[in-house]
Structure 1
Amino acid sequence: MIVSRVKIVATIGPASEKTDVLRELIKYVDGVRINFSHGNTEEWRTRVMNVREFRNDITVLGDLRGPGIRTGGMKPITISTGDSVEFRLDDKSDGGFVPVPNSSFFRVITIDDIIVMNDGRLRLRVEKVSGNRAVLTALTSGTIMQEKAIVIKGKDYPIPILDDYDREALKFAVSIGMDYVGVSHVRSSDDIEEVRAELRRIGGDWVRLVAKIEGPDAVRNMKDVVCASDYVMVARGDLGMHFDLEEIPRIQSSIIKESQKCGKPVMVATQLLESMIEQPVPTRAEVVDITNAVMEGVDSLLLTGETAVGKYPIEAVQWLRRVAGEYEGEVRIDREVMANLTDRLALGIVQLAEDIGAKIVIYSRGGRFVEAISRYRPKVPTYVGVSDERILRRLRLYWGVEPIIIGDIKDYDEGERETLNQLIRSGSIAKGDLVLLTHGVIDTYNDYSIRILRI
């Protein structure tokens, strides 16, 4: 296992689920993603269990399919630029038209809207809308197939955040003990709260929610969405279907800054190393892209197709780790002073440890104080001892934090001692090191402890 400040998450799929590949790949990552848009519960279960067989301390993120409208059952329709194609409200088609089994599509579209499909490769313009039928002209060539997402550029669909498919996926995530769930196509804090309420209803209130900002409503309601979430994802794939490509860097920076202002960890996803789906080395542009994200202070980087279906999944995580590790010490963030006591104290601890050259050692039961310290991106090694494996896996995706499990502890003083002793035994802390030892009790009453000692 490689220790780093910027955390790496890899999507597990056909290219990375093989035993020999998976065993090597998880040496370089801090978390794995299971994409609920593909496969079934048995495939998801097999992937999670295989990951845990090799590393049971790794973070597992389940990514919901999310609300959207997809084509119905149909024979493939191949179209060329300039061709016309009809979309109809229907569950299936013999290939003479594109079936759309949801009337919301026809209520939302207007003439001249751009329809985006096949991950942005196929674009069509709406020429005519009449009731539950529409005629579109192809702007690019491609093939329309069944069960493919239909995106209206710049518009979200007014449909519930959870459908039956995603409710079942949530149940699976809870049953197998996933740590995070990605909420796809979130539009406002109401969507986050609805998913959170569903998790409480099915007994999964420990699961943390990742708000995937990928559509126009989420961008408009950015602060609202970010502050309601537990983690934030810059989902560049879908952003690129709703916005012009030249707008994406600005939107990405805005999401990162808003997340940091609200004290929420943030990850960047999609096309970090897209060329490595086919090639064994990244392009220079990809290296620069990763470097910019790292220097803006993102907590984690998520590989999708590169490790799910790419030819070089291990090389992809190695390259991502290599580039992130080169620049994670050059993070540029504003260390804004928050109004609450916990964040003020966390900033003070980070600044003090950096000034005196001390390693930060924390004992935590809930993780809140650790999250506060991580948001200020400490430039010194930061270790945290926890007794709960769920807390350990959750904290593994926080910038600069290295969590360790220390077993059952009766009180905070014993927790600090055992954390420190375990770090000494492992060699992470050596004789002569200066250590800032701390804990914070936040949930019941504000009780903080800070000690500085020379080992």
Structure 2
Amino acid sequence: MLTNKKTKIVATLGPACSTREIIKDMIDAGVNVFRVNFSHADYEDVKEKINLIRGLNEEFGYTTAILGDLQGPKLRVGVMEEGVVVHDGDLITFTTAEDILGTAKKVFMKYQNFPNDVNPGERILLDDGKLIFEIVETDKKSEVIARVIQGGELKSKKGVNLPNTKISLPAMTEKDIADAIFAIGQNVDWIALSFVKTPRDLQDLQELIAEHSEYKIPIVAKIEMPEALENIDKIVAYCDALMVARGDLGVELPAHEVPLVQKELIRRAKTARIPVIVATQMMETMITSLTPTRAEVNDVANSVMDGADAVMLSGETATGNYPVQVIQKMTQIIEAVEDSPLIHVPQNTPQIKTKRFITKTICHHAATMANVIKAKAICTLTNSGYTAFQISAWRPNAHILVFTSNKRILTQLNLLWGVKSFMYSKDVSTDDTVTDINEIVKQKGFVQKGDFLINLAAMPIKDKGMVNTLRVSEIE
């Protein structure tokens, strides 16, 4: 039995959830979106999983979505000798000239532009910030000398973060471009772009999607760098959703700054009426334990109460021992807090008179009116899914039920808070459509006799234009 929670769960695919049975159990326990992590993806395997999920959708009437997550430019050091340890105050040289075996004196840096991008005084963080170096000098060609600020063991191929440096790398590497083209070919519902810094990064991906698909695939901008925070207003204007990627964010920024950044990013997304996903280490303990810590339970609950549309699991479902139980636990936490009166939505009503102004205003009024008259459901007929984004952002108490003949958005909308979508392809008059939909909603058990229900539609129906009608019905 599928859950009725409104906050969505994104689960990462991996070896721990590779069978049809486990994936079905996960969907039944509350997964709404499966994430394909292209950092560790084999195309044949991904294709198989996508077909499996779509087969389950077809067979059981699920609307589970698929999110392709691009790796982005991951900076790394080369291979190290065994057991290399560096101590505070030591000097070490990072070289891009030749792929040497690393020692405590000299290490290969895989990023060719590194000496040119960095400046003295900037920091180098290695292995998720476990080791910290400060740059002493750079020859701007192939060598950088740095002093160890926080020492430890230097391991092979560990990731590098440069929190103070403006990196000249684009957000999409050659690997990302190949992965994106593959994901587009698989008709994924969403594509997430890592290490977004500027709107240009998002435009490059939009152009790639336009080149390889006749459909628009919405983009999730992953916010994990200080530069992205500086450009957040522009980034929000160019993406379709945000992800608070707390892993790299907590390395690039001091970890104690991340909680407020999370709240601010959720607020920005809500003000822009786009969905937002909170990710990383939400239920980390449950990779190996059946019981999450109190702090993890609090973290998931707080993300929901901050207003996240979705919460995301990574290793917990990809490689953990309890992929189904972690979803059940997360669903329990979500259901316990998501209807709390302590949750507030930013109340900025539509101001800018764009061509969608009427639709935005109608959606806002539908959500407000539903709360006032205690309507049980808001039903919208849509071809683009736009009204679903708008209504969801206002967080009404009513069910948000979307009826569409557009098969592509049926699963896409599953990332949005509170939205449930259904296939509907009759082109009949408005009166007949409303009667028909109200009957379907009643049969599905969302409403019963005497309940109020709000219908939104574009008249005339067959033109599939923008929503221009709001109608209140009482179920008979």
TM > 0.5 between the two?
yes
Measured against aligned partners, the alpha-carbon deviations of 1:246-286 in whole angstroms (never above 9, x if no partner) come to 11111111111111111111111111112222221111111
Q: Equivalent residue for 1:118? A: 127
Q: Equivalent residue for 1:352? A: 369
| Contact 1:227–1:264 (8 Å) recurs in 2 | no
SS in structure 1 at match of 2:40: coil
- Counterparts of 1:207 and 1:140 in 2: how far apart (Å)? 44
**Greater mean alpha carbon deviation, residues 407-416 or residues 136-145:** 407-416
Q: Equivalent residue for 1:40? A: 42
| Contact 2:457–2:467 (8 Å) recurs in 1 | no
Question: Within 5 Å, which residues of 2 pair with 1:190-269?
Answer: 190-203=200-213, 205-269=215-279
SS in structure 2 at match of 1:34: strand
Kindly tell me: are residues 318 and 123 of structure 1, through their superposed partners in 2, closer, same or farther at Cα, counting changes over 3 Å? farther
- Equivalent residue for 2:402, pick from 384, 388, 408: 384
Kindly tell me: are residues 172 and 222 of structure 1, through their superposed partners in 2, closer, same or farther at Cα, counting changes over 3 Å? same
Letter in structure 2 aligned against 1:34 = V
Question: Within 5 Å, which residues of 2 pair with 1:23-422?
Answer: 23-27=24-28, 28-56=30-58, 57-72=63-78, 78-82=84-88, 85-90=92-97, 92-96=99-103, 97-130=106-139, 131-136=141-146, 137=148, 139-146=150-157, 148-203=158-213, 205-330=215-340, 331-339=343-351, 340-358=357-375, 359-407=377-425, 409=427, 415-422=433-440
**Greater mean alpha carbon deviation, residues 113-122 or residues 340-349:** 113-122
If the length of structure 2 is used for normalisation, what is the TM-score? 0.89
Query: What are structure 1's unaligned runs of at least 5 residues?
Result: none
- Counterparts of 1:128 and 1:415 in 2: how far apart (Å)? 71
Letter in structure 1 aligned against 2:183 = A
Kindly tell me: are residues 74 and 439 of structure 1, through their superposed partners in 2, closer, same or farther at Cα, counting changes over 3 Å? farther
**Greater mean alpha carbon deviation, residues 195-204 or residues 50-59:** 50-59
**Greater mean alpha carbon deviation, residues 136-145 or residues 206-215:** 136-145
Kindly tell me: are residues 78 and 351 of structure 1, through their superposed partners in 2, closer, same or farther at Cα, counting changes over 3 Å? same
Letter in structure 1 aligned against 2:153 = G
Displacement of 1:432? 2.7
**Greater mean alpha carbon deviation, residues 176-185 or residues 94-103:** 94-103
Kindly tell me: are residues 48 and 77 of structure 1, through their superposed partners in 2, closer, same or farther at Cα, counting changes over 3 Å? farther
**Greater mean alpha carbon deviation, residues 297-306 or residues 97-106:** 97-106
Q: Equivalent residue for 1:425? A: 443
| Contact 1:31–1:59 (8 Å) recurs in 2 | yes
Displacement of 1:413? 5.2
- Counterparts of 1:403 and 1:259 in 2: how far apart (Å)? 22
Query: What count of residue pairs does the alignment treat as equivalent?
Result: 454
- Counterparts of 2:446 and 2:344 in 1: how far apart (Å)? 26
Kindly tell me: are residues 325 and 198 of structure 1, through their superposed partners in 2, closer, same or farther at Cα, counting changes over 3 Å? same
Displacement of 1:170? 0.9
Measured against aligned partners, the alpha-carbon deviations of 1:318-369 in whole angstroms (never above 9, x if no partner) come to 1111111111112222221112322222121112111111121222211111
**Sequence identity of aligned pairs in percent?**
27
Displacement of 1:386? 1.5
Letter in structure 2 aligned against 1:231 = A
If the length of structure 1 is used for normalisation, what is the TM-score? 0.92
Q: Equivalent residue for 1:439? A: 457
Kindly tell me: are residues 411 and 224 of structure 1, through their superposed partners in 2, closer, same or farther at Cα, counting changes over 3 Å? farther
Letter in structure 1 aligned against 2:95 = R
Measured against aligned partners, the alpha-carbon deviations of 1:201-249 in whole angstroms (never above 9, x if no partner) come to 1125421100111101110011111121101111111110111111111
- Counterparts of 2:390 and 2:182 in 1: how far apart (Å)? 30
Kindly tell me: are residues 408 and 145 of structure 1, through their superposed partners in 2, closer, same or farther at Cα, counting changes over 3 Å? farther
> How large is the Cα RMSD of the aligned pairs?
2.3
Query: What are structure 2's unaligned runs of at least 5 residues?
Result: 352-356
Kindly tell me: are residues 420 and 81 of structure 1, through their superposed partners in 2, closer, same or farther at Cα, counting changes over 3 Å? farther
- Counterparts of 1:91 and 1:397 in 2: how far apart (Å)? 45
**Greater mean alpha carbon deviation, residues 83-92 or residues 181-190:** 83-92
SS in structure 2 at match of 1:119: coil
Letter in structure 2 aligned against 1:370 = A
**Greater mean alpha carbon deviation, residues 181-190 or residues 128-137:** 128-137
| Contact 2:128–2:160 (8 Å) recurs in 1 | no
| Contact 2:100–2:107 (8 Å) recurs in 1 | yes
Matched, 1:452 2:459: no
SS in structure 2 at match of 1:55: helix
- Counterparts of 1:305 and 1:172 in 2: how far apart (Å)? 23
| Contact 1:92–1:99 (8 Å) recurs in 2 | yes
Kindly tell me: are residues 304 and 373 of structure 1, through their superposed partners in 2, closer, same or farther at Cα, counting changes over 3 Å? same
- Counterparts of 2:217 and 2:181 in 1: how far apart (Å)? 11
| Contact 2:388–2:400 (8 Å) recurs in 1 | no
- Counterparts of 2:131 and 2:458 in 1: how far apart (Å)? 52
Measured against aligned partners, the alpha-carbon deviations of 1:103-160 in whole angstroms (never above 9, x if no partner) come to 32112223343322333334333344334122342624234223x4321123341112
- Counterparts of 1:285 and 1:440 in 2: how far apart (Å)? 46
| Contact 1:227–1:259 (8 Å) recurs in 2 | no
- Counterparts of 1:123 and 1:405 in 2: how far apart (Å)? 53
- Counterparts of 1:39 and 1:75 in 2: how far apart (Å)? 28
